[in-house]
A and B are shown apart, each in its own frame.
Chain A
């Protein structure tokens, strides 16, 4: 039963007798392909090919197809081929295989690579416009939802809002505090290390204070929130879209923007300034620790220097940016979530897009704010 499949070829004049033997099954596919290739030339030379199937001990679709292909190779140029001695329990399979692969679909012509590249460029240009439209639509829908809530405060989904605040605010505190603490410490260490060379160590505190409060605190926290919570929003809304939950909501007369998106975006807008505040304090604390253990500057001096170096303005500049960044992250995350199509791959792609896009927009927004604050002298 278990021996190798064989193919005995007996050419006699114009007639070729092929006698497959043994198990012609998928498990022996390597042998089968070699065998069928080895008799190819003989098949092409003969006018009549007979395949004597009586020696075949086992047959599956793959084996049957390899044999059928041999016979088709013979018949393709007007010669003849026939199967003889097909056992009863193989005949159904042989008949089935005889019908398959009869017509090949017309191959679609590969597009001109230059044109395809140009086409992609055009598509992504139109896509960018579409992105902006979607962003503005979502902003408008959110605005309408807020007006609706202001009209009827009871329609605010308070439970959902509190739950989202807990998830993206409260639960994010440890990691946000840890990372900003480390960043503050690193900046202080770099400051002491490089400023020491020209005796300006005490200005390290100014640098840490201003940098953290104005830029780094809010930027680092926003980027972390975009990665941590923005991606979660996209994946959540995307899988809801895939399971038709969002359609179900709409058919019940509820607006998904009211029910799902407003609480999420509002939670981000509330949580991000708080996280920014916590993050900035953690960074200043990290800087202070480095000042004591690396810069030989006691806590009292550090705090006094900080008091001189920074003003409420610096704090305001940082914290004012936070809600706008939150809004951008929330809108991008939710609208990307709603763009998820049926497949798991699309969910992954949309989540990636969401994180990349929101981090990009957060940095662009930060730049615009820098220009704005500089021009009003803050």
Chain B
């Protein structure tokens, strides 16, 4: 048991989630290893975000178990808040707070520390995600899309959580910014020893930063493994996803 606890950051077993009559996730099982970057792909509306939100505790589950760092996941209390950081798709920065206050928010709510140290930590986080200290006093409405994502990442990392959830981190960014963001995630993952769970459609992110990729189709994980293995997968949806016209074109370019 101990070995298994050490090996896996998130363990999902037989998870069933649905709304009304519709079943979105159907007896889904998924393991995320400690210290890896796992990419999750799936059709739009296929339940990727639902899976992520269920693990975080935002959506109730019908049955199944979820373990995070060896503990059964139960809702989103204060203890959970320090276990993971979440980067929402639109950033979800608090619009009435400055960038600095946004990053300090989790610190202020969860820890007792001096204002001086809090300021220094906030600036440190901002610099770690590649922003300048001058940006700290801006409001979210004044930020560009890429900067918003970086601030949201800094906020997600404020408490140094062991697990980081990313919901389409590179969507809406230009290829250069997306590439920079991928590199940033990789660097931070290495320095901070993070486990990263990433929902994405970006084939470039999948190839360059993800250690493993899981494919979600029909409410189940139909294939999981390094990108190379997934490209060999025989599952029709996975084949269609990675060998469709768009993907072929990209992969051709990459070769």
Contacts and interface: CB of A to CB of B under 8 A. Distances in A.
Interface string B107-143: 1000111100100110111011000111010011100
B141 A61 contact: no
Contact of A343 (B96, B125, B128, B190): B96
B127 A92 contact: no
Contacts of A103: 133
Interface range for B: 20 to 34
B96 A345 contact: yes
Closest 3 CB pairs of A and B: A60-B160, A343-B95, A92-B191
Interface range for A: 20 to 34
Q: Would you call the interface of chain B mostly helix, strand, loop, or mixed?
A: helix
A181 to B, nearest CB: 40
Contact of A30 (B113, B133, B157, B190): B113
Contact of B111 (A26, A92, A95, A345): A26
Contact of B193 (A29, A89, A104, A346): A89
7 contacts: A27-B82, A95-B191, A100-B127, A101-B123, A105-B132, A343-B95, A346-B141
Interface in A76-109: 89, 92-93, 95-97, 99-101, 103-105
B58 interface: no
A342 interface: yes
A100 B124 contact: yes
A24 to B, nearest CB: 11
A97 B141 CA distance: 29
Interface stretch (A62-70, A169-177, A184-192): A62-70
A61 B111 contact: no
B231 interface: no
A50 interface: no
Given A62-B121, A96-B128, A101-B124, A343 B141 contact: yes
A33 B82 contact: no
A25 interface: yes
A255 B242 CA distance: 44
Interface string B155-183: 00101100000000000000000000000
Contacts of B133: 101, 103-105
Contact of B113 (A33, A60, A92, A346): A33
Interface string B91-105: 000011000000000
